[in-house]
Amino acid sequence: MESVVRQSIKTSNIFSYLKYLYGQHQNNTLYIKRLKALKQIIQDKNLHTYFQPIVDLQTGQTIGFEALNRPEPSELFRSVDQFYEFVGQTDCVFLFECFCRNLSLQRFKERLHGEWVNRDFLVFVNIHPNVLLDRSYHCGETLQLLKELGIKPQQVVFELTERSAVVDFEEFERVLSNYRSQGYRIAVDDVGSGYNSLKTLVYLKPEFIKLDRSLIQFIDKNSEQQQLVTLLMSYAEQAETKIIAEGIERQEELNYLRNIGIHYAQGYAIGKPAKEIHLGKIRMGDHEDRGSHRKCSLY
């Protein structure tokens, strides 16, 4: 009887091991297929680029756009989050980031029409902090591209997207000083999400703080969110930083934020991401302002 039990356990262990090996084989096969697809996407420039407007809440004028790159949904990548999560697991992060940056700038210039071509709109480009720190990254290449496209460095805002990537703050501060000396500006994304610390804001001294949507949704009804946003506004005023409220979907949110003096805003209530560039639209009192064509100061 004991021999039968031992044999049963041994068989069960072998079965479990074979199942594990099969699972590993499946995962490796999927990884290889996804990696091949990613490289093909880069080679063919097969990403959709969308632009979402950012508006001045006090004047209703559009100051710029965030560039968002999205892959075509497929069997390998069923969602945008899944796609970008996979990119972060590969050794193609640097290559992909540079590809996205160039694609965003090129398509931004291509899709500006009429008198908008001569407007100094800002373009917010998502970028992983480690790319800026990477010695392989030559900022002169970006300057050359901007020169060819007729975009001023002062129009480009590097939006830092990785919430916990900055470790050596002093080194990163030095690197950012170099970029700022060339005219670029910095935005810190997802502030208030629980990942970003005040240390990030203090050391990086961004020109823009983008408030996470978790702080914005139903802020007109939540006193805790209101208090935190008020504190961040106080800091921004002292640091001479501009605040952008993200994820605004309700008119009540927009009204509240405008009334307390938030500088800029972004969200579905103002304008959804679109392939074609459109000015933001916010409700000002009893009328709608679709974005003035008058030239305005960005600060």
Instruction: Give the start-to-end residue ranges of the domains of the chain.
Output: 39-265
The CA distances from residue 95 to 30, 87, 102, 175, 268, in Å, are: 21, 10, 11, 20, 31
CA torsion sign, 72 to 139 to 161 to 88? Answer: positive
- Mean pLDDT for the chain? 85
Q: What is the pLDDT of residue 139?
A: 64
Q: What is the pLDDT of residue 134?
A: 73
CA torsion sign, 217 to 223 to 229 to 232? Answer: negative
Q: Whole-angstrom Cα distance, residue 165 to residue 131? A: 11
Single-letter amino acid code for the residue at 14? I
Q: What is the pLDDT of residue 290?
A: 40
CATH superfamily of 39-265: EAL domain (3.20.20.450)
Q: What is the pLDDT of residue 20?
A: 57
**Per-residue exposure over 78-95, b if at least 16 CB sit within 10 Å of its own CB, e if not:** eeeeebbebbeeeebbeb
Q: How confident is the model at residue 175 (pLDDT cuts 50, 70, 90)?
A: confident
Q: What is the pLDDT of residue 120?
A: 93
Q: For the residues 257-261, what does the mean pLDDT come to?
A: 96
Is the pLDDT at 291 greater than 60, yes or no? no
Task: Enter the DSSP assignment of 136.
Answer: T
Q: For the residues 184-211, what does the mean pLDDT come to?
A: 84
Question: Residues of the chain with pLDDT > 90: what percent?
Answer: 58
Q: Which residue has the higher pLDDT, 197 or 222?
A: 222
Q: What is the pLDDT of residue 271?
A: 96
pLDDT tens for each residue of 36-83: 999 999 999 999 999 999 999 999 999 999 999 999 889 999 899 999
Q: What is the pLDDT of residue 19?
A: 58
